[in-house]
Structure 1
Amino acid sequence: MNSSYDRRRLFRASAAAVVALGLKDPFSHALAADQSSLGRPVKLEAGDTILFQGDSITDAGRDRRRNGVNDPRGFGSGYPMMIASGLLRDYPANGLQIFNRGISGNKVPDLAARWQQDCIDLEPNLLSILIGVNDIWHKRSGKYDGTVESFHSGLTELLIQTTAQLPETTIVICEPFVLRCGAIDDSWFPEFTERREAARKVADSLSLRWVPFQEMFDEAVKVAEPKYWAGDGVHPTMAGHALMAKTWRETLEI
């Protein structure tokens, strides 16, 4: 497999969302970036369970009373709904069972507190986690005192526990991201960058899959202003969620 070609396909496919702007290849310079996040394609088997975990970006306004498998009202309006709908369309013979358990406001400790019921007990074959922005946002608002170090250690502990209890599960860590608009200003940095890098270190140390959402949005803001993708700098717009869903699927090649 030609990894350079795969990276090119990923970013050019993402660029299709803004091709109307008339730019030939707005993501071309990113093609030389690290290739390790691509890995091998994820192979979906008959009866596989897929679970999306995270905070409000994953929650996306879902009805938390509707936690059944493949229940559209339980998915919200964000990237998990878009991904799940596409997978169910594209793999009708597989009998996929897909869940969204993202909860608005969650930080790493919140995931840990509900992990047995909302993850381990579901025994997912494919687990996607997007977490991290509240760990700094709540600290900035005085509601939390977690540090970069506690974020790293907490996420590491949670994922070691998960790999021990679900050794056959493919775990995907989605890169935490922010865009410089709305609630996001220079005072978020460099701490947010340090937390994002901590997430990548955890994924690398445990050989987990990585979806480069910050990298994706860093390229996207070159062809449309940040608020086009995330009005408050954190929560994606329809376009932002669609770009996330596209990148997630193309990174994992499913």
Structure 2
Amino acid sequence: MCPAISLGFDGIGDIIWAMSTTRCILFQGDSITDAKRSRQDGNDVHGLHLGCGYAMLIAAQLGREGDLSCFRNLGISGNRITDLYARIKEHGWNHQPQLLSILIGVNDTWHEFMRSAGVDIARFARVYSMLLNDTRQRLPACQLVLCDPFVLPCGVVEDEWRADIDQRRRVVRELAHETGAIHVPLQDAFDHALGIAAAEHWAADGVHPTPAGHALIAETWLAAVRKAGWL
């Protein structure tokens, strides 16, 4: 179990840090999860290991509510489902999380359209299923959270990307149902948000969220996990 760094205050109002062994919430995925996280070892009192994206926002909100969970972000920029599967033991199971959140899939689409190096839908489904089933065997008590991949109609995103992403979303939704995972419908959230502001407001290149986009992911994630009764 990963150690948690808990923020508290002493009798005169100074900030103190204490180690805890409460539950571990682990975020996995690609650059959207990575969000420029620090790779430095040691006591990270500033939370730089969480990056500057939705994982940090979720940890901040739950921490503000008094949740003493250990929050870990091990997303790696550029990852496809095959890359994540290759490292899930070291960067997933070995940390023994009580909750494992996964957001993956856009690079499987992007890399295919850009340089024919993506992962086709059938293989995406097969490898994702293997990852989840293997995780269930290794960590039977771990709560899985599966986030939909998403794109917005701007930047590098071409029209044909959306149909491909929609197929991957169906895979994620079906796998969530099959494995008892919590499903987070991010594409639906972004589609709705287009009625509030233009696509570039949420993801300037159509893929990587702006601060507002990361806030929307965090809000949607928290709503889904709370609705499931885990928080």
TM-score, normalising length: structure 1: 0.77
Does the CA contact (< 8 Å) of 1:70 and 1:97 recur in 2? no
For 1:220, give the aligned amino acid.
A
Residue 121 in structure 1 maps to residue 86 in structure 2: no
What is aligned with 1:54?
Answer: 29
- 2: CA distance between counterparts of 1:69 and 1:170? 26
Per-residue Cα deviation, 1:18-40 (whole angstroms, up to 9, x for no partner): xxxxxxxxxxxxxxxxxxxxxxx
Q: 1:90 aligns with which of 56, 65, 70?
A: 65
1:164-211 CA-partner distances (Å, limit 9, x unpaired): 110001100011111111111212142221122112111112121101
Q: 2:165 is paired with a residue of what secondary structure? A: helix
Relative distance call for 1:70 and 1:126 in structure 2 (3 A) is: farther
Q: State the AA in 1 paired with 2:153.
A: R
Equivalent AA in structure 2 for residue 235 of structure 1: H
- Secondary structure at the counterpart of residue 62 of structure 1: coil
| Separation (CA, whole Å) in 2 of partners of 1:193 and 1:68 | 41
Identity %: 42
Question: Which deviates more, 128-137 or 204-213?
Answer: 204-213
Alignment RMSD:
1.7
Partners of 2:76 and 2:183 in 1: CA distance: 21
Residue of structure 2 equivalent to 1:172:
145
For the 8 Å contact 2:80–2:119, the answer to whether it is kept is no
- C-alpha change, 1:151 and 1:70, in structure 2 (3 Å) is farther
* Residue aligned with 1:239, SS: helix
Partner of 1:75: 50
**Structure 1: 5+ residue runs without aligned partners?**
1-45
Query: 3-state DSSP class of the match of 1:128?
Result: strand
What is the aligned partner in structure 2 of residue 35 from structure 1? Answer: none
Task: Show structure 2 runs of 5+ residues with no match.
Answer: 1-20
Query: How much does 1:226 deviate?
Result: 0.6
Distance 1:233 1:137, change over 3 A: same
Q: Is the 8 A contact 1:67 1:99 kept in 2?
A: no
Q: Which residue of 1 aligns with 2:175?
A: 202
Relative to total residues, which structure has the larger strand share, 1 or 2?
A: 2
SS of aligned partner of 1:141:
helix
Paired positions, count:
207
Q: Select the residue among 213, 218, 221 that pairs with 2:194.
A: 221
2:125 corresponds in structure 1 to 152
Question: 2:80, 2:118 within 8 Å by CA — same for their partners in 1?
Answer: no
Summarize the Cα distance change of 1:68–1:138 in structure 2 as closer, same or farther, 3 Å threshold.
farther
Going from structure 1 to structure 2, the CA distance change for 1:189 and 1:85 (only over 3 Å counts) comes to: closer
The residue identity in structure 2 corresponding to 1:175 is D
State the structure with bigger RCO (CA 8 A, min sep 6), 1 or 2.
1
User: Structure 2 counterpart of 1:91, which letter?
Assistant: G
